């Protein structure tokens, strides 16, 4: 199979993936990983699987209400270190660039990260915007346990899943009205 024909996945903290899969938030904050070729974030696909990552998530970087979920994802990873469960699929509804701390602070109630972590992401590579992706999330009817391999390591946003994944027969995490309400809250917060 050609590399570009392999399923694409966005690598995101497992605790954030869980919040998305449980419908507690509809956004991710992206700036680009250290191992990115361009060192910047770029939207490589408008639809993708979510690949849970465990390396950098720390309890002090998420709000207290997300601490139990973070601990749970770490326990799951420790109990099955040889694989990662892919259980969701996302479509990007909007990619909004944020360049100032005031706008970012208005999003604080709409995600699991601490204000300090969000600001740290904004300040990293100051000349580049922070991407706020509004995601329409779907659960997979048949989640896939993907064996870990070296191509999945490193601080990068995107990866090609080497294993064949079942074609996404997704079901929406949130109904249309709830999703529209949450997405509108993001837009209103950004507009101030």
Contact call for residues 159 and 48 (beta carbons, < 8 A): no
Q: pLDDT of the chain along its 192 residues, tens only?
A: 566 678 899 999 999 999 999 999 999 999 865 544 556 788 899 999 999 998 778 888 999 999 999 999 999 888 888 899 999 999 999 999 999 999 999 999 999 999 988 888 888 877 888 999 999 999 998 899 999 888 777 777 899 898 878 666 679 999 999 999 999 999 999 998
Contact call for residues 95 and 27 (beta carbons, < 8 A): no
Contact call for residues 31 and 41 (beta carbons, < 8 A): yes
- Using alpha carbons only, what angle is made at residue 179 by residues 106 and 7, rounded to the nearest 5 degrees? 100
Calpha distance 43→46 (Å, rounded)? 7
The per-residue pLDDT for 3 is 67
Rounded to 10°, the helix 67-79/14-21 angle is 110
Calpha distance 49→38 (Å, rounded)? 22
Condensed to tens digits (0 to 9), the pLDDT of residues 50-73 reads 999 987 788 889 999 999 999 999
Enumerate domains of the chain plus CATH numbers.
3-191 (2.30.130.30)
As given in the structure block, the two tokens for residue 172 are: 């929406």
Q: Tokens 């709000």 — which residue?
A: 63
């Amino acid at each position: 199979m050609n590399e570009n024909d392999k399923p694409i996945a966005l690598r995101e903290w497992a605790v954030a993936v869980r919040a998305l899969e449980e419908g507690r938030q509809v956004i991710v904050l992206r700036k680009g990983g250290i191992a990115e070729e361009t060192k910047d974030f770029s939207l490589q696909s408008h639809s993708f699987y979510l690949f849970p990552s465990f390396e950098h998530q720390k309890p002090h970087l998420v709000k207290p209400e997300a601490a139990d979920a973070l601990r749970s994802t770490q326990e799951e990873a420790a109990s099955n270190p040889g694989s990662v469960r892919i259980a969701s699929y996302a479509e990007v509804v909007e990619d909004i660039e944020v360049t100032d701390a005031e706008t970012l602070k208005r999003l604080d109630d709409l995600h699991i990260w601490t204000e300090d972590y969000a600001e740290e992401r904004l300040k990293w590579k100051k000349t580049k915007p922070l991407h706020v992706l509004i995601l329409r999330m779907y659960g997979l009817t048949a989640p896939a346990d993907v064996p870990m391999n070296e191509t999945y390591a490193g601080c990068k946003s995107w990866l090609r899943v080497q294993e064949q994944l079942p074609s996404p027969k997704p079901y929406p995490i949130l109904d249309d009205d709830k999703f529209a309400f949450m997405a509108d809250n993001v837009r209103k917060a950004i507009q101030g």
